[in-house]
Amino acid sequence: MSLYRLDASINPATSKSRALADLVEAEWTSQHPDSVVTRRDIGTHPLPSTTWRDVVMSGMTSDADLTQEQRDARALATTLADELIDADAILLAIPLYNWGIAAHVKSWYDITYTDARIKSGALAGKPVVLATVLGSDYRPGSPKEGWDHSTPWLRHVIEGVWKADLLVVQRQLTLVGANPAMDALKDQAAEVHAAAQQLAIEHGRALAAKRNAPGALV
């Protein structure tokens, strides 16, 4: 049995998305102590920015004319797709950066989505937890409401394209404490944090249980 974990924070030492995902992972491991956890850290080791284009353009090239870069890019795409397809469950730890999807996350998604198996539904029904964090206040009525362009895209591609079985835990206001302008939100941030931790634990239990459910992917 295996859990695939993707981390996208560029600063693991202080990462709030890692901390949230750790709670999910702990529940998984508690229920499946023999499970392998396969890790890929695209935050500190982003994929080459040329890979996706090389794979796409290789599709318009005859095999004999493929460049070495295109062959390497195809091999990397297959490796990344294998990691997802082979996993019994998937855990994604993804921060919001500059109000949009992290460039290295979009790149990873684009590369995996070149894989014919993933395009034809290989991830359908796969249990997935997304643990995501937002530095500022994006709650309804706040000035930045609607400025999180990462989570809605992730929901669309994970639920709508992969057709995976997605649970999301989101923690906002993570910059409270680091940004003095947000000091007035200290109590609210603590509540949001505690609620996110609780939900991460619940999602971790649900992820582990889904794997055990009758009819679960084997």
Token pair of 162 as six digits:
């992969």
Q: How far is the CB of 57 from a second copy (least distance, A)?
A: 7
Token pair of 142 as six digits:
């706040």
Q: Does residue 46 touch a second copy according to CB under 8 A? A: yes
Q: Which residue, 5 or 104, is less far from a second copy as judged by CB?
A: 104
Q: Which residue, 154 or 189, is less far from a second copy as judged by CB?
A: 154
* Of the residues 30, 36, 39, 44, which one makes contact with a second copy according to CB under 8 A: 44
* Of the residues 12, 48, 121, 125, which one makes contact with a second copy according to CB under 8 A: 48
Q: How far is the CB of 51 from a second copy (least distance, A)?
A: 9
Query: Binding string to a second copy for residues 152 to 181, with x set by CB under 8 A, is what?
Result: xx--xx--xx--------------------
Q: Which residue, 11 or 212, is less far from a second copy as judged by CB?
A: 11
DSSP string computed for the chain? -EEEEEE--S-GGG-HHHHHHHHHHHHHHHH-TT-EEEEEETTTSPPPTTHHHHHHHHTTS-GGG--HHHHHHHHHHHHHHHHHHH-SEEEEEEE-BTTB--HHHHHHHHHHTT-HHHHTTTTTT-EEEEEEE-SS--STTSTTTT---SHHHHHIIIIIIS--EEEEEEE--TTTTT-GGGGGGHHHHHHHHHHHHHHHHHHHHHHHHHHHSTT---
Residues 76-135 that bind a second copy (CB under 8 A): 97-104, 106-107, 109-110, 113
Q: How far is the CB of 207 from a second copy (least distance, A)?
A: 25
d(CA 85, CA 90): 10
Residues in contact with a second copy, total (CB under 8 A)?
Answer: 34
Q: Assess contact for 20 and 107: CB atoms under 8 A.
A: no
Name the amino acid, one letter, at 134.
L
Q: Does residue 52 touch a second copy according to CB under 8 A? A: yes
Q: Does residue 43 touch a second copy according to CB under 8 A? A: yes
Residues lying near a second copy in the complex (CB under 8 A): 10-11, 43-44, 46-50, 52-53, 56-57, 97-104, 106-107, 109-110, 113, 147, 149, 152-153, 156-157, 160-161
